[in-house]
Amino acid sequence: MPDSKVLPLGSPAKGIPSFAMRKYLFLLLIPCFSHAADNHAKNVILFLGDAGGIPVLNAAGIYENDRPQSLFIQHMPYIALSDTSSLNAWVTDSAAGMTALVTGHKTNNGWLSMLPGEAGRDGRQLKTILEHAEERGLSTGVVTNMPIWDATPAACYAHVDSRKKMAEIFEQALHPRFGDGPDFLVGKDWKKLAAATEQAGWNLKDGLGKAGYRVFENPADITADATRAAAIYDGSDFDPEPVVTRIMQTLSRNQKGFFLMVEWDMHTKATLVGIKRAIVMDHLIRKVAAEAPADTLIIFAADHSFDFRLIKASKGQPFAPQVEADLAKEHRGPLDKPVVAAGTEHSGEEILVAAQGPGAERLHGFIPNTRIFDIMMQAYGWNQTR
């Protein structure tokens, strides 16, 4: 064998950069590595359109603007289509649907953030994204125009084998497994919840007080100095924009960050109610996206779709009057097709997921609903333990 060529000390071999050159290249790459390491979300806001499937979003955009694909949601920079099936059914209910989003696990319809156990054994509780946030000292909030103990908000903080266990569900919000539980609880049905807790042997107002909540009769009454508040109201929808803005401002005081879930019901059993609520949520997301800090991941998703279809309408006149006139009809002939047809049940097709902010680039393609949990965890930079 020929002798190896011995290089003088400090002389680079051919094709190998010198020490000085390697150091220079390393220094050039430091900003890239730092950017990758720092490209995490400090805050995550999950907007949930209950029954807000693609057909409802499509109708809402046309209803408001007389053109398709005109909602803000539809122009967020990253989108995917998500499966919504549950563990035991192709068509999910809100309990299993939301559980998948906030825990990364599919469960049976009717179950909240809990897996069914084997025969004769209790089920396994699943740690939610809100609980991960609480465990790490972030501030958290749950806002909805549905009952505060209902499936979507409850999946964030409760673990039960039946979404009907109203008092047991809400008691878990006041006695959390991690941290001190949601800092803000906003939702409906004070009277029903108070009656259920009385039957269970405890007083709702006293329970909230012992858990450190300031209680407000209406969401709009929450004051800027309230750092821990519950507004459980009876009546019609509140205006979410000032309420969510105020809660975000408070949550943002936590230097560790926050997690906020905002649900708005979009069921179209009452057609115009569902369509208009979709528009309300779209306006809210637009506003929040303009005001939120740059280190905030914003996601819109639905827990499931709904039996709702656009059947006919003319482009020669505004869409909204056509829908309203059609819904006002008391009788329809055998050949008279409706402008929109709304059923009464959930449906199983994919839903739109849209996002912007740090970590949103992970959202693309066809995904299972459990992937949304993974995206939020990765955006925070947290271990994927479930």
User: Percentage of the chain surpassing pLDDT 90?
Assistant: 78
Q: How far apart are CA 278 and CA 55, in angstroms?
A: 11
User: Taking 90 as the threshold, does the pLDDT of residue 19 lie above it?
Assistant: no
Give the pLDDT of residue 332.
Answer: 72
**pLDDT, tens digit (0-9, with 9 covering 90-100), for 37-78:** 458 999 999 999 999 999 999 999 999 999 999 999 999 999
Neighbouring residues of 168: CB distance < 8 A, sequence distance ≥ 6: 158, 160, 200
Q: Is 47 helix (H, G, I), strand (E, B) or coil?
A: strand
Neighbouring residues of 213: CB distance < 8 A, sequence distance ≥ 6: 185, 228, 229, 230
**pLDDT, tens digit (0-9, with 9 covering 90-100), for 113-159:** 999 986 545 789 999 999 999 999 999 999 999 999 999 999 999 99
**pLDDT, tens digit (0-9, with 9 covering 90-100), for 222-278:** 999 999 999 999 999 999 999 999 999 999 999 999 999 999 999 998 999 999 999
CA gyration radius, the chain: 25
Give the pLDDT of residue 95.
Answer: 96
Whether residue 247 contacts residue 184, with contact meaning beta carbons closer than 8 Å, is answered with yes
Enumerate the H helices of 44-141 as residue ranges: 54-65, 94-103, 129-135
User: Taking 50 as the threshold, does the pLDDT of residue 372 lie above it?
Assistant: yes
Q: Is 288 helix (H, G, I), strand (E, B) or coil?
A: helix
Give the pLDDT of residue 32.
Answer: 43
**Other Cβ atoms within 10 Å of 46 Cβ, number:** 24
Give the pLDDT of residue 13.
Answer: 46
Neighbouring residues of 265: CB distance < 8 A, sequence distance ≥ 6: 50, 51, 144, 145, 146, 274, 277
Give the pLDDT of residue 5.
Answer: 40
Whether residue 168 contacts residue 160, with contact meaning beta carbons closer than 8 Å, is answered with yes
**Averaged over 355-381, what is the pLDDT?**
97
User: Taking 50 as the threshold, does the pLDDT of residue 292 lie above it?
Assistant: yes
Q: Is 338 helix (H, G, I), strand (E, B) or coil?
A: coil
Name the pTM for this structure.
0.88
Name the burial class of residue 334, with classes exposed (0-12), middle (13-18) and buried (19+) by CB atoms within 10 angstroms of its CB: exposed
| Percent of the chain as helix, strand, coil, to the nearest 5 | 35, 20, 45
Q: How far apart are CA 23 and CA 192, in angstroms?
A: 68
**Other Cβ atoms within 10 Å of 234 Cβ, number:** 13
**Other Cβ atoms within 10 Å of 266 Cβ, number:** 26
Is 44-115+129-313+342-380 a domain of CATH 3.40.50.2000?
A: no
User: Taking 60 as the threshold, does the pLDDT of residue 282 lie above it?
Assistant: yes
Q: How confident is the model at residue 12 (pLDDT cuts 50, 70, 90)?
A: very low
Q: How far apart are the first and last CA of the chain?
A: 58
The domain limits of the chain are 44-115+129-313+342-380
Q: How far apart are CA 104 and CA 147, in angstroms?
A: 24
Q: What integer best gives the mean pLDDT of the chain? A: 89
**Residue 95 dihedral angles phi and psi, to the nearest 5°:** -65, -55
Give the pLDDT of residue 17.
Answer: 54
Q: How far apart are CA 35 and CA 37, in angstroms?
A: 5
